Amino acid sequence: MTTEGRVPVAVLGAAFLFNLGQGVLRPSMPLYLHRTFAANYTMVTLIPVVFGADKWISNLPTGYLLNRRGRLLMICGLALIALIDVASITTSRFDVFLGLRALGGVGWAMFATVATTAMVAVSTSQRRGRTVSLLLMSETSGLLVGSAAGGWLYQGVGIASPFLFEAGCMIVAALVVARWVRFSHAAATAPQPRRDRTLLRAALRIPGVAVMGMTSAVLVAIQTGVLVFLFPLFLVQRAGVSPEAVGYLVSLTVLGRLIALWLGGTVSDRWDRVRVLIPGLLVYAVILGALSWFAHPVAIGIVSLMMGAAAGFVAAIPTALAGDRVEPALQGVTIGWIRTMSDSGQIVGPLIMGALADAVGLSAPFLFGAALLGATAALCCRMRIVPTIVAES
């Protein structure tokens, strides 16, 4: 339940449950594919590709539909994923399974885009950074807990149990959101402009919106392409860290992100967001670029914590800043645009960073990521600062 200007706790709870279910599938999905379909590496990697592609395609349409269908889209997205989970364990054909998981990307976009827009819409500019940070913290916490429990469920309960667990999470989250939508005074959406096709064009003309989309793409590209996929390899191959210690050091980046998410949102609420974002990006660039200089496990642990904190500090600011600058009628399509750019980074980032590591060396993606952050900070410096906030709730 919420009143206008207050954080909708139901959305935070639903975001935690949503990502808890997704997190459970992360370690167990490859094991399920290998056992059920005798899947090779290519078949395993096709799952996130088709899922990410459908999510990328669906973000903007969801933003447009938000003004027409409202927050019921969240419930539809959650219900769709629950149905897909149940259907996934009933098929013995990999092509059908692949199609079902691709359709899950549509459900993800329906929930995540509308949930983010809801958090932006109910908050004032003085609290928008903290509100978006709370949403990201809920998502990260759910993924962290789910990833830790996924292997246990698969081995201890059954190979299909992670899918059923995720379906259960989605159903509970849908019930929570349904109650919030029914009783929330903020459930009404903004009036729909007559020309839907001009919404995105109007949003991108507002200073800062396009730049924030690009910033989100860069941040996610580095997060997925460097920190998720290449950082564990760096720890083993270049720093000589034992495989047992890799999980501990990676968890430090998650811990640093959780701590700094709230700090970044709070600081950006108190000062101009652009002036907070620029030094945040530069500090992140320095830490990322300097990582290859360290070899001692203790030093790497400290840098890991700092790197996660730097990533978390800036993570919520692009969405909050864009939400400040657009009117309520444009918030849905603006968030859809930002999430589309983020998903672009998630798809392209690993491809580019992996190619760099193969062609040049394992340090190259870290240095290239630092250069991208520096270039993004320079782009933000050139962004015209709008003195008045146009999107007050």
Q: Give pLDDT, residue 196.
A: 57
- DSSP per residue over 97-137, as a string? HHHHHHHHHHHHHHHHHHHHHHHHHHS-TTTHHHHHHHHHH
Show the domains of the chain with their CATH numbers.
Answer: 9-182 (1.20.1250.20), 200-382 (1.20.1250.20)
Q: Give pLDDT, residue 256.
A: 87
Q: Give pLDDT, residue 64.
A: 78
Distance CA 375, CA 117 (A): 28
Distance CA 201, CA 211 (A): 14
The DSSP letter of residue 244 is H
3 state SS of 55: helix
Q: How many residues does the chain have?
A: 393
Q: How high is the mean pLDDT in each 10-residue block of the chain (393 residues)?
A: 59 92 83 86 77 84 74 88 95 93 90 86 78 88 82 86 95 89 51 58 85 93 83 77 71 84 87 90 94 79 90 90 84 86 86 86 90 93 55 45
Evaluate whether 53 touches 347 at the Cβ level (below 8 Å). Answer: yes
CA 341 and chain centroid, separation: 11
Distance CA 236, CA 362 (A): 11
Q: Give pLDDT, residue 347.
A: 83
The DSSP letter of residue 198 is G
The dihedral over CA atoms of 189, 191, 197, 202, expressed in degrees to the nearest 10, equals -90
Q: Give pLDDT, residue 244.
A: 62
Q: Give pLDDT, residue 262.
A: 84
114, with CB counted inside 10 A (0-12, 13-18, 19+), is: buried
User: Which residues, in sequence order, are CB contacts of 239 under 8 Å at separation 6+?
Assistant: 294, 295, 297, 300
3 state SS of 243: helix
Q: Give pLDDT, residue 309.
A: 93
**Helix intervals (H) in the chain:** 9-37, 41-69, 72-88, 94-122, 128-156, 161-183, 199-205, 209-222, 231-237, 243-270, 273-290, 297-315, 317-325, 328-359, 364-382
The DSSP letter of residue 196 is G
